[in-house]
Amino acid sequence: MIIGAPPAPEDRDRGGPGTPLLDVRGLTKHFGGKGGLFGKAKSGVVRAVDGIDFSVAKGETLGIVGESGCGKSTTARLVMQIIRPDAGDILFDGEAVGSQALSLGDFRRQAQMVFQDSYASLNPRLTVEETVAFGPRVQGAKPAAALAKAHDLLHRVGLEPRRFAGRYPHEISGGQRQRVNIARALSLDPRLLILDEAVSALDKSVEAQVLNLLLDLKRDFGLTYMFITHDLNVVRFMSDRIMVMYLGKVAEFGPSEPIFEKPGHPYTAALLSSMPSMDPDHRTQEAPLTGDPPNPIDPPSGCRFHPRCKMVSTLCSQAEPRLSTMGEDHLAACHLADPQSGHPRLAAA
């Protein structure tokens, strides 16, 4: 099952094309603080991910952006079950992860992750080919077959096996190491690849090569990506849809172009205009946001963004905005996007 050509996509596509590959409902993770099962949580609880819903369609790239501490990496780790969610359902191709139909092991074979630190995520004592062949071998492939597969994958990610197969991680560059990590992630023929800041540590000229490689692999292997980054240029290039997170909540969700052209949440707008200008005659004159992202311990009441928001009204500190429809498949958690919210600026408009 592992060796040779990956199983035909139609064999594995159990839910059909209409079923999202990943469907996440009410995902929640709070760190620290000991609350009883039904009791109130004590203070000091970090609300890293606080009840988020999203889905990833088959074959798409979902970009996740936000400042540090917004919960984007925690979301990835929760999906992979590297850390256990406190609450929430994760459906993979229509089946609950960890259920009878889809055991955790089965799920993890189909979902793989690539991390930011290319060096720390490799075993320094394994050569490049051993690293890539490791997964298939553990899954019962014959050593020769696993090695042949590793060589094929190394070739696919642009590392000529004859030159690179026998090298150790410290003998290759950061860009090459990240290619090894990508090859390893592909070694079990996954359907979902979670890329957590996978190109952030690379030099710009190398980053472009790896992004192009990811596009090629996605097409050739029929992959679905969750692409987490703080670089908005990269996310725009890579993503079909984008989820903007703020302090453990979804601030905005929708197709990439509408979000960049006409952001529905003031936070998304501020994030976009924080990108350095590329025009020497029109440098940024005023910072769109002041201060650092607030601490997810004890987040602000109502809309979590309200203390930094230019459009704030008293309503914003009292009521939490719901996700309102901005356009087709485009949602924003802002009172201004909700005609029924009673935000004073709506009446003025």
- For other proteins, the binding residues (CB under 8 A) are 67-68, 173-176, 203-209, 211-212, 215, 230, 232-234, 236-237, 257, 260, 270-271, 274-281, 283-293
DSSP conformation letters of 261-318: HS-SSHHHHHHHHTSPPS-TTS---S-SS-SPPPPSBSPPSSSTTGGG-TT--HHHHH
Q: Judged by CB, which is closer to other proteins: 60, or 93?
A: 60
* Angle in degrees, CA 342, 345, 349, rounded to 5: 110
Return the ∠ at Cα 60 (arms to 58 and 62), rounded to 5°.
120
Nearer to other proteins, 28 or 200 (CB): 200
Separation of alpha carbons 70 and 194, rounded Å: 17
Nearest CB to other proteins, comparing residues 45 and 215: 215
For the sheet with 324-327, list strands across it: 111-114, 192-196, 224-228, 61-65, 241-246, 249-255, 330-332, 324-327
Residue 123 gets which letter from DSSP?
A: -
Number of H helices, E strands in the chain: 13, 12
What CA–CA distance (Å, rounded) separates 307 from 294?
A: 9
Rounded Cα–Cα distance for residues 209 and 279 (Å)? 25
Q: Give the residue with the Cβ less far from other proteins, 57 or 206.
A: 206
Residue number, 159 or 316, with CB nearest to other proteins: 159
CB-nearer residue toward other proteins: 173 or 318: 173
Residue 286 CB, nearest distance to other proteins (Å)?
7
- Using DSSP's 3-state secondary structure scheme, residue 85 falls into coil
| Distance in angstroms between the alpha carbons of the first and the last residue of the chain | 60
Least distance to other proteins, CB of residue 12, Å: 24
Q: How far is the CB of 292 from other proteins (least distance, A)?
A: 4
CB 186 within 8 A of CB 133: no
Closest contact distance (angstroms) between CB of 259 and other proteins is 12
Kindly state the tokens that stand for 266: 């003031």
In the complex, least distance from residue 219 CB atom to other proteins, rounded to whole angstroms: 8
Give me the least distance between CB of 266 and other proteins, in Å please. Answer: 12
Q: Which is nearer to other proteins, 118 or 324 (CB)?
A: 118
Rounded least distance, CB 117 to other proteins, Å: 14
Q: Residue 135 or residue 254: which is nearer to other proteins going by CB? A: 254
- Which residues contact residue 69 at a Cβ distance below 8 angstroms, ignoring those fewer than 6 apart? 247, 293, 295, 296
What is the nearest approach in angstroms of other proteins to the Cβ of residue 231?
8
